[in-house]
């Protein structure tokens, strides 16, 4: 817990609420992995890249994450699993554009990560940022936010939509909280071809996140 207390990016909460939130995050992470394992499409880091999911496993994954229709920063209607996750390695996080602290910093850090990934970014590796304040974060607002952070939108989608639909997706990835300003800042890395998923704190050095991302994607360069 001592390490968690030093990470002001991991959660916007303080002291007692931070402890409770950390415990809840651990439970949500365990619950997500349990559901994925039971469905047959979770894999350990050691097995990532060494097997691919069967068509039946992929359909179970689609059923879990859902094909909820959301809207991208450029106004496209997309299905969450089929269009954003399927056959990709992804980094997923939750943001809101009026955030003055963690969200811009994490987005800028991930922009550095995207550059380190090289040509695979926008090919088999994609980033997905979901707004948990969708009523204010319209596609136009999301595009402006992304541009301010220097994001390469060729491999990065910012998502919004009806609040109930967005909340449902965020609950599926284990990052939902009632108060959007206290949202969880953890990063979810997943490879939908192998079923390898893990949550990592966003305050790791960019090089460490790049290493975990490449491990998940398979291949080290």
Which domains, and CATH codes, for the chain?
2-217 (3.40.30.10)
Could you list the pLDDT tens digit for every one of the 221 residues in the chain?
444 433 444 444 333 333 333 333 333 444 444 444 433 334 433 444 457 889 999 999 999 999 999 999 999 999 999 999 999 999 999 999 999 989 999 999 999 999 999 999 999 999 999 999 999 999 999 999 999 999 999 999 999 999 999 999 999 999 998 888 877 899 999 999 999 999 999 999 999 999 999 999 986 54
Three-state SS for 158? strand
The pLDDT value given to residue 78 = 98
Contact 162, 133 (CB under 8 A): no
The alpha carbons of the chain give a radius of gyration, in whole angstroms, of 16
The pLDDT value given to residue 122 = 95
The pLDDT value given to residue 219 = 64
Question: In the block, which residue shows the tokens 């380190």?
Answer: 116
Neighbours of 17 (CB within 10 A): 12
Neighbours of 207 (CB within 10 A): 11
**Starting from the edge strand earliest in sequence, which strands make up the sheet with 77-79, in order?**
77-79, 69-72, 156-160, 125-131, 89-95, 187-191, 196-200
32: CB partners within 8 A, 6+ apart? 173, 174, 197, 199
The pLDDT value given to residue 221 = 45
């Amino acid at each position: 817990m001592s390490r968690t207390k030093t990470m002001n990016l991991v959660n916007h909460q303080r002291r007692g609420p931070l402890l409770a939130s950390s415990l809840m995050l651990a439970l949500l992470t365990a619950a997500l992995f349990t559901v994925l394992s039971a469905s047959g499409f979770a894999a350990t880091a050691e097995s990532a890249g060494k097997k691919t999911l069967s068509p039946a496993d992929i359909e179970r994954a689609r059923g879990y994450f859902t094909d909820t229709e959301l809207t991208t920063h450029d106004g496209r209607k997309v299905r969450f699993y089929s269009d954003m996750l399927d056959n990709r390695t992804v980094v997923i996080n939750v943001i809101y554009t009026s955030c003055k602290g963690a969200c811009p910093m994490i987005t800028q850090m991930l922009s550095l990560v995207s550059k380190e990934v090289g040509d695979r970014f926008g090919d088999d590796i994609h980033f997905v940022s979901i707004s948990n304040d969708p009523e204010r974060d319209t596609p136009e607002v999301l595009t402006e936010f992304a541009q301010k952070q220097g994001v390469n939108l060729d491999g990065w989608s910012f998502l919004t939509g009806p609040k109930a639909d967005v909340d449902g997706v965020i609950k599926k990835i284990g990052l939902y909280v009632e108060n959007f300003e206290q949202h969880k800042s953890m990063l979810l890395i997943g490879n939908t071809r192998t079923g390898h998923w893990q949550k990592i704190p966003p305050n790791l050095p960019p090089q460490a996140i790049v290493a975990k991302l490449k491990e998940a994607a398979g291949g080290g360069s």
